[in-house]
Structure 1
Amino acid sequence: MFENRGKKRALLAALLLAAALPLAGCTRYTPPEMESGEAVPESGRAVQKTAETDEGQAAAEGTASGKSGEDESTVRAEAAGPVIEIYDDAWSTDSPREPVKVKGIYISAYAAGSRERMARIIEEIDRTELNAVVIDFKDDNGNITAEVESPMLQELGVCRPYISDLPGLLSELREHGIYTIARVVSLRDPKMGETRPQWCFQSESGEVLRDSDKMAWLDPYNEEVREYLAEVGRQAALAGFDEVQFDYIRFSTNNSLQKAAVKAAGESSKTDIITELAGYIYDELSSEGVYVSADVFGAIISSSGDAQAVGQDYAALASSLDYICPMIYPSHYGDGNFGLDHPDLHPYETIMGALADSKTALDTAGAETIQKTAVVRPWLQDFTASWLKNHIAYGDEEIRSQIQAVYDAGYEEWILWSASNKYHYGALESEEEQQN
């Protein structure tokens, strides 16, 4: 079913459950040079507090847009400024692009558009082991967060430049050796529900179906939807991002939307459709010289029921991407997973259990069918799940224990998620600690 898109990556080192691996040193990103000499750019079933539940986290932290309690008008005012045109030669696709062992954080478009906030974030990155950022390029509201020179996106009217000088921002990040990843919220798209309802799942009467948060969902069976998402990724690459990461590349868990998806699937399975979508996007973007990744539910790694519900087959998707990013937040696992009473109370053990399942899933599938395996780069929890009855406050110790679990499980990369962009930098190693 899948094309051989490159040499098979060797699977990562065997799982170490008893002894910790030495911490891998942080690798700063050194971009290639242009001709001008300038640098270029889960055991058991998890609780379905998945992407729809991220809004619960956002409510606890502030908002998913990352306002961090600030007045939205203030944040947007900070982002205001002259729009800088983005040119197709912002980076060279002919230059070799070396992979990076990512240790990153998520940054909202609002934060990325604030010079003051980005200055503080860059300062923290410079003094810690962090070496990468994930920035909203297509946000949760369906907005492209910078101006782009794309006739399709301009016609759709989706550009809302919260980041007024994206080329300038990416250039500054490169100067600090920071690897840049564009987050693209894919199939959950309220804006297209208004401007392109024919691209969305609809009821028999032709009304756009929406989830519990009143969000429309794009129909991945629609060829125009596939072309649209590929174009968004292409524009992120042309803007200068090193990698494009697709979030919400799945079906909704909403009952009405689930029924519509099953009806639309016909003889195809939902997992086949999402895998084909990921493969199509990969083929379109890899020729642009950019790495391609996707976020997946942690639950789908070991639960075939969850995998079928949202259309995410872990091993199949891993054969269609450069990086696969399971969201293995302890707060998103139900009581009893990995033999733990309440996983949120046990961050180290939860991450170890999830990554043990990951290794088993990819080892098993790889021995049978996979000709290419994506690097596993998990999302870790840097927020307190206050909506849970049994939870703990997450601070430096809980963040560090998750990171240590990643290393002890034989993996080397991770990204921290905080919807409010409030991170526990004290949990991260300083430059001096890395050298010792």
Structure 2
Amino acid sequence: MTGGRGTGMALWTWLTRTVSSLVQAIFGRRRTRTDEVKASEGHIVYVVQPGDTLWGIAQRYGTTVETLVELNHIEDPSLIVVGQRLLIPVEGEPPPPPPPPEEITWTRKLTGFYGNRWQAWEQFVKGQVPGITWHEFKDQALIYNPQLEADGYIFRPEKEYLLPEISHEPPSPPTAEVKGLYMTYWATRSAKLRSHVLDLLETTELNAVVVDIKGDDGFLYDTFTQPDISNAELLVGTLANQAAGHERADLDWIVEDRDFPIERYAEVTNFTTLMDWLKRHGIYTIARIVVFKDNRLVGQRPDLAVKDKRTGEPWRDYNGVGWADPYLQEVWEYNVDIAVEAARRGFDEIQYDYVRWPTDGPTEHAQYAQSNTVENRAAAMDGFLALTRSRLEETGAKLAVDFFGYTCWRNYDTVIGQVIEGVAPHIDVLCPMLYPSTFGAGLPGYPQYNNAIAFPYEVVYLSSVRAVRRLEAANPAATVRPWIQDFPDYAFDKRTYTPEEIREQMRGAVEAGCSGWMLWDPRVRYTRQALLPAEEPPPSPPPPIPTYPPNKMGQIVVLSYHNIGEPEGRWQRTPDNFRADLEYLLSQGYYPVNLIDVVRRNLDHVPRGRRPIVLTFDDSSAGQFRYLDDGSIDPDCAAGILKAFHDAHPDDWPLRATFFVLLNADEPGTPLFRQGDTGPQKVRTLVEWGMEIGSHTINHPNLSKATPEQIRWELAVSQNRIEALIPGHQVRCFAPPYGAYPKDISLLKEGYCESEDLHYSYEAVVKVGGEPSLSPFSDSFDPYRLPRVQAFQDELDKWLGYFERYPRRYYVSDGGER
């Protein structure tokens, strides 16, 4: 690290903490002396073992960290030492003591390796031999390998050395390059975006994902999951349990100890299920934590904020966002606690973003807890990362930091505290953000690349080469893994990178010696064509379709689709999105039925534990049913997609849907399904498959403005013409155009059209949108005012997400059993 004052401060901090822990362990303070801790009624004495933490001890004995701190007068909960005695409250019989730590023996032989002790620790010991720390390793390595000192503390490839090992075979560290993408919090919540990301992870070369844990506004979130994962309930606002099966919200103490409740604004649907999927598929998981840009923390604790000299209030950047003061120890500890808990939840790596001082605002008015000098920034950055490293050590998680792209070219901190050599001793991965759009001034010393957006390879390669060389000189064990651009340019010519230009960035990272790359697109619209296909994995059985306890009083979703085609819009769903809808519905245990089945309570054919759902289509548009020139059904129309999905899942997804057709065949150029005289054959095909045809009138009038006779004509003629096209099929359901009802709703139920001498009657009338329907067994169920959920993304996310969170509120079939 540069700067003598920063080095001195870091050394003094380390000495102070070390001496404090030794004094506390050997001599004690007040009532914590080991010879004075006595068991009493309702208490036992516990002797701290290697690898113990207060949190783990509290979990083992059913108490809390706060209770242990208060009972034992512990000043720093992170400082307990092996052999220390703790008084622990217990009720009834105390739990059995923990198993003894596994024996570590220095018997593993090493040859053919060249490097120092730190490199040997990183490559052969860290994460593979639990129970030994870096400091223990570097000292004991000299005891078991006395030749090291004579060789200048360097392992020589021609010599044999001894390394520590334990009785069982440790897992091998991953050797593949990390190829990842960023998944926003909102993407975890959106069925469409989540499916896009998981599909890329499963079918392409990608093997890692970066997930928001503390987001750009300071959100903390996760789910509290009951043992039955299908009955997940939400805990919004904090990371929760599930770390090693613990039974409490593990981050609650982080919040409570600091006397500021983090507001619970965000929500994530079934986050633990997402993590389970990632682990089962071998995906390397990275927890993104936005550090010093923290509007929520500043709002709750303005005393922790960077201050505005003019007002004394929290300073804010040009976006109105507050920043926590990077010099404050409490800000450090808050973020480190989150990092440790994320690691305990199973994340392989912690990635700090916005680990810097603010720039985009009136920085001349920013006031900090210390004088904002280069030396002080270096010391604060060093202290924060040193604290993180020490706390993460026991978890085995790696530590990464995101840096501005220009830091690769500059060896000074540019007033943001980011210097590669300064952070190198504490990190495993440096992640420079090498988006060509951010290099507005071009590459220093390369005027030919001033238009940086046109040189994706050169920007990433030349920047990465410098980062790799500097990091290797400061910490050979650390690696560089840059962020690369998969979002539209905003600084030069507003181009959207082609797949080839994105791959040029990847090539630049690899050829510069980086350990991988990560794609950044906050829209989560990653370019599939830029990614190589994954190696074909061995076939695995499909995941089981979930089932639920029967509940015949729950609600039922009736989905309202219109056209299937490009582009996506409120009244048009793309073929890919419609396919994704069906995949999601099946994965959540839904089972399609016709609308008349709901109205008539004819749901016993739905398998026990499955959830009936109705898919409806209005207007009989071309995108709903279209023939190709060879007479086959277009695989991208609704009928083609439904048929293909049924063929792929014949036992789990029958061909059921309700089509409300518009019989304006009298209008030139607008026949049924808009494809010549093929309409009659299409409706007959749908009915033969098992689907239902309903009426949407003849001329699509607004019935709220029509006369009674006009209404009777539309409903009578439509019903009779459809039934004439499909002998034996009864049209029993009706969808008013625009969702407009007449004042006299009885006109929709049944009537007689004098001009055509035709009777008509309907058993159900649907609205254009609204909400899920009540159960047909409910006393309040009204078949003539059936609400529907419009099938565009926001509404789908809202209502399907609602029933994913609260599955007990949905109708579940009993399979006809009584």
Equivalent residue letter for 2:471:
L
Q: CA deviation at 1:250?
A: 0.3
Q: What residue is the counterpart of 1:421 in the other structure?
A: 524
- CA distance in structure 1 between the aligned counterparts of 2:117 and 2:526, rounded to whole angstroms: 36
What stretches of structure 1 move > 6 A for 4+ residues in a row?
2-6
RMSD: 3.0
Is 1:410 aligned with 2:410?
Answer: no
Tell me which structure has the larger Cα radius of gyration.
2
Cα distance change, pair 145–351 in 1 and its aligned pair in 2 (3 A): same
Counterpart check, 1:111 vs 2:187: yes
Structure with bigger RCO (C-alpha 8 Å, 6+ apart): 1
Kindly tell me the number of residue pairs found equivalent between the two proteins.
Answer: 347
Matching residue within 161, 169, 188 for 2:293: 188
Once residues 296 and 270 of structure 1 are traced to their aligned partners in structure 2, the CA distance between those partners, rounded to angstroms, is 15
2:351 is equivalent to residue 351 of structure 1: no
**Structure 2 equivalent of residue 211 of structure 1:** 317
Alignment pair present for 1:381 and 2:456? no
Q: Runs of 5+ in structure 2 lacking a partner?
A: 1-6, 15-115, 129-168, 223-238, 241-248, 538-818
* 1:258, distance to aligned residue in structure 2 (A): 7.3
Residue 377 of structure 2 corresponds to 270
State the alpha-carbon separation in 2 of the partners of residues 384 and 294 from structure 1.
24
State the partner residue of 1:7.
118
1:349 alignment partner AA = E
User: Using the alignment, how far apart are the partners of 2:404 and 2:459 within structure 1?
Assistant: 14
* Partners of 1:360 and 1:255 in 2: CA distance: 35
Matches of 1:384 and 1:421, distance apart in 2:
12
Alpha-carbon spacing, 1:115–1:235, altered in 2? closer, same or farther (3 Å) = farther
How much does 1:277 deviate? 1.2
Matched, 1:361 2:470: yes
The SS at the match of 1:105 is: strand
1:132 corresponds to which residue? Answer: 208
Match of residue 436, structure 2, among 330, 333, 340: 330
Instruction: Please tell me the residue identity of whatever aligns with 2:505.
Output: Q
Deviations 1:284-328 (A, max 9, x none): 1222221111101111122245x2411011122122111110001
Quote the offset at 1:167 in angstroms. Answer: 2.1
Is the 1:272–1:311 Cα contact (8 Å) retained in structure 2? Answer: no
TM-superposed CA distance for 1:373, in Å, is: 4.2
Q: Give the aligned residue type for 2:384.
A: L
CA distance in 1 between partners of 2:205 and 2:409 (Å): 31
Query: Which residue identity lines up with residue 245 of structure 1 in the other structure?
Result: Q
- Indicate conservation of the 8 Å contact 2:262/2:297, yes or no: no
SS in 1 for 2:286: strand
* 3-state DSSP of counterpart to 1:430: coil
CA contact (8 A) 2:184 2:212 kept: yes
Find the counterpart in structure 2 of residue 53 from structure 1.
none
Contact in 1 for aligned 2:328/2:369 (Cα 8 Å): no
1:392 to 468, 474, 495: 495
The correspondence for 2:388, drawn from 281, 284, 299, is 281
Quick one: which amino acid aligns to residue 208 of structure 2?
A
Residue identity opposite 2:457 in structure 1 = Y
Evaluate the alpha carbon distance shift between residue 271 and residue 220 of structure 1 in structure 2; reply closer, same or farther with a 3 A threshold.
same
| SS of structure 2 residue aligned to 1:217 | coil
TM-score, L = length of structure 2: 0.40
1:431 equivalent in structure 2: 534
Report the alpha carbon displacement of residue 353 of structure 1 after superposing the two structures with TM: 1.2
Query: CA–CA distance in 1 between the matches of 2:418 and 2:120?
Result: 21
Instruction: Give the TM-score normalised by the residue count of structure 1.
Output: 0.73
- Structure 2 residue matching 1:125: 3-state secondary structure: helix
Which amino acid letter does the alignment assign opposite residue 381 of structure 1? Q
Partner of 2:327: helix, strand, or coil?
coil
Identical aligned residues as a percent = 29
Cα drift, residue 426 of structure 1:
0.8
**Aligned equivalents of 1:334, 1:114: Cα separation in 2:** 33
Instruction: Return the letter of the residue paired with 1:203.
Output: D
Aligned 1:80-229 pairs, distance under 5 A: 98-99=173-174, 101-146=177-222, 147-148=239-240, 149=249, 150=251, 151-153=253-255, 155-204=260-309, 205-229=311-335
SS of structure 1 residue aligned to 2:468: helix
Contact 1:252 / 1:258 at 8 angstroms: preserved in 2?
A: no
User: Does the CA contact (< 8 Å) of 1:318 and 1:373 recur in 2?
Assistant: no
What is the alpha-carbon distance in structure 1 between the residues aligned to residue 509 and residue 380 of structure 2? 30
**Matched residue type, 2:514:** Y
SS in 2 for 1:410: coil
Tell me the CA shift for residue 184 of structure 1.
0.4
- Secondary structure at 1:249 match in 2: coil
| Alpha-carbon distance in structure 1 between the residues aligned to 2:498 and 2:255 | 41
Alpha carbons 1:104, 1:131 under 8 Å: kept: yes
Report the alpha carbon displacement of residue 356 of structure 1 after superposing the two structures with TM: 2.0
**Contact (CA 8 Å) 2:424, 2:475: kept in 1 or not?**
no
* CA–CA distance in structure 1, aligned partners of residues 319 and 364 of structure 2: 13
Shift of the alpha carbon at 1:425?
A: 1.3
Query: Contact conserved, 1:97 with 1:289, CA < 8 A, in 2?
Result: no
TM-superposed deviation, 1:140: 0.7
**1:221-240 matched pairs, under 5 angstroms:** 221-240=327-346
Kindly provide the CA deviation profile for residues 144-180 of structure 1, in whole angstroms up to 9, marking residues without a partner as x.
1214222223652245452232222111111111111
Deviation at 1:97, TM superposition (A): 7.2
Partner SS state of residue 426, structure 2: coil
1:303 aligns with 2:410: yes
* Contact 2:408-2:464 within 8 A present in 1 as well: no
- Distance between the aligned counterparts of 2:297 and 2:266, measured in 1? 18
One-letter amino acid of the counterpart of residue 318, structure 2: S
- One-letter amino acid of the counterpart of residue 374, structure 1: A
Distance of aligned partners of 1:239 and 1:432 in 2 relative to their CA distance in 1, 3 Å threshold: closer
Match in the other structure for 2:159 = none
Question: Any idea what the Cα deviations from partners look like across 1:228-271, whole Å, max 9, x if unmatched?
Answer: 00111122112221111110000001343675249534684313
CA spacing shift, 1:115–1:198, aligned 2, 3 Å:
same
Cα distance per residue 1:123-161 (max 9 Å; x no partner): 222111000100111011111121422222365224545
State whether residues 251 and 309 of structure 1, in contact with CA within 8 Å, keep that contact through their aligned partners in structure 2: yes
Opposite residue 285 of structure 2, the aligned amino acid is T
